[in-house]
Amino acid sequence: MIAEAGHYALVLALALALIQSTLPLLGARWRDVALMNVARSTAIAQLMFVAASFAALITLHVFSDFSVVNVFENSHSMKPLIYKITGVWGNHEGSMLLWVSILALFGGLVAMLGNNLPLSLRAHVLAVQAWIASAFYLFILITSNPFLRIANPPIEGRDLNPVLQDIGLAVHPPMLYLGYVGFSISFSFAVAALIEGRIDAAWARWVRPWTLVAWIFLTLGIAMGSYWAYYELGWGGWWFWDPVENASLMPWLAGTALLHSLVVMEKRNALKIWTILLSILAFSLSLLGTFLVRSGVLTSVHAFATDPTRGVFILLILCIFIGGSLSLYAWRASALKQGGLFAPISREGALVLNNLFLTSACATVFVGTLYPLALEVITGDKISVGAPFFNLTFGPLFLPLMITVPFGPLLAWKRGDLLGAAQRLMGAGIAALIIVALVWAWTLGGGTFAPLAIGLAVFVMIGALSDLAERIGLFRTPLGTALRRARGLPRSSWGTVFAHAGVGVALIGIVCETTWNSEYISSMKPGDVARIAGYELKLDGVRSAQGPNFREMIAQFSVRLDGRLLDTMTPSKRSFATRGSTTTEAALLTRGASQLYVSLGEIAGDGTIAVRIYHKPLVLLIWLGPVLMAFGGLLSLSDRRLRVGAPKPAKSIRGLQAAE
Amino acid sequence: MTRKQRRLTIIGGSLAVLAVAAALVLNAMRDSIVFFSTPAMVAEKHIQAGKRFRLGGLVQPGSLVRGENLAVTFQVGDGSATLPVSYRGLLPDLFREGQGVIAEGALDSSGVFKADTVLAKHDENYMPKDVADALKKQGLWKNEYGAKPNDGAKSESNPGASRAAQGAPRPEQGALR
């Protein structure tokens, strides 16, 4: 009953989406207010029906209704409740349902919060949003219905893939989808602007918060996925240049570029056509990511099952939306009025440079991800493009970008003073050089790359702070004045500081982890001691235990530093009977920002156990950086000028802000 | 600066960055791309020692020898040829004799493949796509290699997915459909 209701709710959502994708457009054409307002009610109703459908699937999973194929294949009655819920999107059908639910959520939010939008713009945006929604409802209903029944219901399910039975699954996919799908809003706004043939700074002010929300979630989603892979897969890697990761990195790069070009458009009414193109590209890359992951053309641990009909269907959606929006762009973009002028050395110029590097880096990731596919289709040769390729292409493009990051905020709009900016960054530069020398001396000349990269990271971090010091007049005015100014500084300026500093923090973590990671691999017997980076790990013993739906072998290590007992670590190996598979649960010991990492290999007949121990210096900074970036994004979002649904600022306020 | 000069500066700068990016990509394409071979292809092509590639095939039953301190040797075969492989480290959870495997490394001067990474990316009814395709090409595909061989072949992993190297089984849908 619940399954049929969920299915029916999804069909109704499709019907509503079809109405929403046509009537408001006619309304906008005929200037009929009632017809345009249809978009608002259908978007909200659509959200309610999709939410009902999603809730139905969750209910089926929670109550382990194995007469539904999706539940049978991905659940087990003994599975803990949290994994029964998260298992809903741990499979193809459920994750597509989550995808459209989030799409409907964003559509509903635009409908509810968009009362200050011009009526025709809102009608157009919601109509475009409904086109996307209709395509994906059709996809789910035709090829991936999660509510199919089995004629003879089995008693027990086949359980969720053990690797996915982790709290990471509860957080990572929803975050990532909020990011991916969030870019649909900027896409819809861009297409709406192209249809209307009108775009201005106010447009950028409406789009920016939505882009920012999507970007924050995507940043956190990628970081979360990276940390999940790090602790779950048992060998301490945190980024693999796997096509599935690249699929999420590409929209992030395009989205980061879009955020920066929206600033130019909002403040200076320039770069309009470029901003529209980036909005289209960011969502197109999200769709491409969905295609890569969901169609199974390049499958990795994320890519669940496949079926050629699904691949072809998503490819079709991809072609229609990307091809359609780019054609519309080619046809209509020239009709948009060009914006203001600026000198190459200026804030705008710096943001253009940022956009150039980000999109070029994005292009190299695109080539590295799709070239092996294209080659295999055309010549049949199989190649793998891995980390070395991306280190040689992505790295050299990102380094100059990092050098220029601190300069951007210090340059004035319209015409900047590079020399002045360089002078103000003198402190940061000197600090960076001192750090380079210190690190180099401390590691006794063990390679120049790592000290230089750390120096660069310090330059970015202190550069961000000196921008802040400059704005509040620290050291130039009395401390009280400076503090008062700091409080008065727009939140978006604080956001910039945090986000840019976060980039530096992440870079330090990446460099330290890759350069000074130490590794110990051996087979150990109880009583054996492993020494790594000054720590002593003694294998106390191995015991077995029974979990809810698995059995596990737990090894206990006592960790000593300078003879003093710090803690015990208990990595384990779990075997899941239902799927006949095993997972490795690594044990982590955090010391400051560094971590000890222990994972187990096979257990031999004579009681020896293969052990892999890592010491990862400052590894946590890799994820602290993105968290800082996201926090910066959140601060910007809370800026009153950008608050979602904030009323249009009055003329006088706008005048004040221009002076900042 | 006139409007035209400004525009030229920006266009020139963009082209310069794009040219650099293109040069980097072409350069990296030449040096850092790893090709995939089966033992038969290795015998045919005479791949020189020291050149990195990925070797795919089935671990020959009975060939696995465990040595001191996690060193292992085993034979990888594809039906028409076999190649000895040596490796030191933890084998992935799903590494088994008779199952598909992908190893990355290079041949040494004596013709032994020294692997630094071993991926066994499959579960009980599944083998890596590269291996499956190679076996099919040679007509050696047997249905017992996969309950759903077509599905298995379609849904393989990207070989670069070293995250699965450590035996993360591929989440598979059931055979009901």
Q: What is the mean pLDDT, run by run of 10 residues, along chain A of 660 residues?
A: 93 96 93 92 96 96 92 89 91 92 95 89 95 95 91 85 83 93 95 89 89 96 92 82 89 96 88 92 93 68 50 87 93 78 84 93 93 79 81 90 91 85 88 90 79 93 90 81 85 92 95 90 89 92 88 92 91 84 88 92 80 92 96 89 50 38
Q: How far is B168 from chain A (nearest CA, A)?
A: 7
| B34 contacts on A by Cβ (under 8 Å) | 383-386
A19 and A101 in a single domain? The answer is yes
**Domain ranges (residues) in chain B:** 1-33, 35-166
What percent of chain B has a predicted confidence (pLDDT) above 70? 66
Q: What are phi and psi of A589, to 5 degrees?
A: -125, 115
Chain A residue nearest residue B9, CA to CA? A344
* Residue A141 belongs to some domain of the structure: yes
* Residue A112 belongs to some domain of the structure: yes
Distance of alpha carbon B163 from alpha carbon A462, whole angstroms = 35
Q: What is the pLDDT of residue B136?
A: 60
| A93 Cβ neighbours under 8 A, 6+ residues apart | A70, A140, A144, A145, A146
Q: Is the CB of A233 less than 8 angstroms away from the CB of B163?
A: yes
Q: What is the pLDDT of residue A71?
A: 92
Report the SS3 class of residue A657: helix
A443 and A511 in a single domain? The answer is yes
Mean pLDDT, residues B34-54 taken together: 82
Q: Is the CB of B163 less than 8 angstroms away from the CB of A229?
A: yes
* Residue A174 belongs to some domain of the structure: no
Q: Cα dihedral sign for A218, A219, A222, A224?
A: negative
Q: What is the pLDDT of residue B11?
A: 84
A456 and A601 in a single domain? The answer is no
Distance of alpha carbon A29 from alpha carbon A36, whole angstroms = 9
A558 vs B13, more confident: A558
| pLDDT tens string B60-107 | 888 888 887 788 899 988 878 889 999 988 787 777 787 778 888 889
A547 and A481 in a single domain? The answer is no
A547 and A485 in a single domain? The answer is no
* Residue A295 belongs to some domain of the structure: no
The single-letter code of the amino acid at A175 is M
Residue A154 in contact with partner chain B when CB distance is under 8 A: no
For helices A243-268 and A347-378, angle between their N-to-C axes, nearest 10 degrees: 150
Listed residues A93, A127, A161: the one ending a domain:
A161
Dihedral angle at the C-alpha atoms of A84, A286, A111, A23, nearest 10 degrees?
-110
Of A384, A582, A604, the CB nearest to B160: A384
Quote the Cα angle for B25-B28-B31, to 5°. 155
Listed residues A460, A491, A516: the one ending a domain:
A516
* Residue A72 belongs to some domain of the structure: yes
* Residue A54 belongs to some domain of the structure: yes
A156 and A10 in a single domain? The answer is yes
Listed residues A117, A133, A161: the one ending a domain:
A161
Structure tokens at B102: 């992908």
Q: What is the pLDDT of residue A351?
A: 92
Q: Is the CB of B154 less than 8 angstroms away from the CB of A357?
A: no
A16 and A153 in a single domain? The answer is yes
| B9 contacts on A by Cβ (under 8 Å) | 344
Reported pTM:
0.88
B35-166 maps to CATH 2.40.50.140: yes
Of A164, A382, A392, the CB nearest to B27: A392
State the residue range of the domain holding A604. 518-616
A53 and A122 in a single domain? The answer is yes
A571 and A547 in a single domain? The answer is yes
Q: What is the pLDDT of residue A521?
A: 86
Domain count across chain A: 3
* Residue A443 belongs to some domain of the structure: yes
A545 and A561 in a single domain? The answer is yes
A496 and A583 in a single domain? The answer is no
A512 and A523 in a single domain? The answer is no
